[in-house]
Amino acid sequence: MWRMLVASAVAVVHLATPHATGQDRPSFTSESELVVLHVTVKDQQGRYIAGLPQDAFSILEDNRPQSVSFFSSEDAPVTVGLLVDNSGSMQPNRDLVLAASTAFVERSNPQDEVFALTFNETVQAALPPEMPFTSDPRILRDALALSPPSLTTTSAFRSNRPRARYSSPAAIAS
């Protein structure tokens, strides 16, 4: 009796399994139930407006309102690169450039990561190779202050291409 039951179960499984032929092709279909919209809002003077609630927004598709499933108002961390002109023509403004670079990092999200490249006759990383990114404004300011200035005037497009490629700290580490 058990042999007959096992044989019947094997036959049912065998019949339920699709037989592949040389002409069967796998197919894949997909549809999206969630569309992500990244939004930046500015006032009439071009200043960013933060902290707006969900009910300040409406989404229309073909003039029909769409429901908002998820809403987040946050300052997400980013990686930012600063390109600092260190040529002779910028030397009278060097203190202003250092102050602006420092102020930028001070006002950024504390989780933002910044790298800096300086250029004159060549393009160089301002931060040391063992720490190519920072979120500390003092470290950035000190590194930029130590970058040797040039006595000649140079434009960015005439500088040598940078040898380091910056995309993320993970890419640098690997």
Neighbour tally for 132: CB within 10 Å: 18
Instruction: Give the model confidence (pLDDT) of 93-119 as tens digits.
Output: 889 999 999 999 999 999 999 999 998
Alpha helices in 46-168 (DSSP H): 94-107, 137-146
pLDDT band (50, 70, 90) for residue 30: confident
Residue 162 has pLDDT above 60, yes or no: no
pTM, rounded to two decimals: 0.54
**CA–CA dist 41, 49 (Å, integer):** 6
Q: And the tokens for 62?
A: 């073909």
Q: Which domains does the chain have, with CATH numbers?
A: 79-169 (3.40.50.410)
